[in-house]
């Protein structure tokens, strides 16, 4: 029963992300909507698998590794996508690391 609820919520978060990406807006808006699916979706589903199979089983450990990978690597992808979108828009990154106040 707990598994059912966790999987349902995880799938719901991912589908929310899908709807958000399909909604009208620019690439930056879509990047925002991709966050809940990439964070809570894998996390809740990994929790369900760990509860079902046990933490120290092959399934539990591999699912945790997958989730940690997604959680750690997704911000990098989001950052580089936003960077690419900005450079495409302006022709340069136009970033001033030391703003002259």
- Contact residues: other proteins, CB under 8 A: 3-4, 7-8, 10-11, 14-15, 17-18, 21-22, 26-27, 30-31, 34, 37-38, 41-42, 45-46, 48-49, 52-53, 57-59, 62-63, 65-66, 69-70, 73-74, 76-78, 80-81, 83-85, 87-88
CB of residue 15 vs other proteins: minimum separation in angstroms? 5
Half-sphere exposure of 2 (CA within 13 A, CB side): 8
Please identify, using beta-carbon distances, which residue of 58 and 100 lies nearer to other proteins.
Answer: 58
Q: What size, in residues, is the chain? A: 101
Alpha-carbon span 48 to 52, nearest angstrom: 6
> Residues 52, 53, 56, CA angle at the centre, nearest 5°?
135
């Amino acid at each position: 029963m707990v598994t059912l609820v966790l999987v349902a919520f995880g799938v719901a978060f991912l589908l929310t992300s899908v709807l958000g990406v399909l909604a009208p807006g620019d690439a930056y808006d879509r990047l925002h909507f991709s966050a809940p699916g990439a964070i809570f979706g894998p996390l809740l589903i990994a929790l369900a698998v760990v509860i079902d199979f046990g933490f120290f089983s092959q399934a539990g450990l591999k699912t945790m590794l997958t989730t940690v990978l997604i959680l750690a690597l997704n911000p990098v992808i989001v950052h580089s996508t936003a960077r690419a979108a900005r450079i495409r828009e302006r022709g340069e990154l136009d970033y001033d690391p030391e703003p002259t106040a």
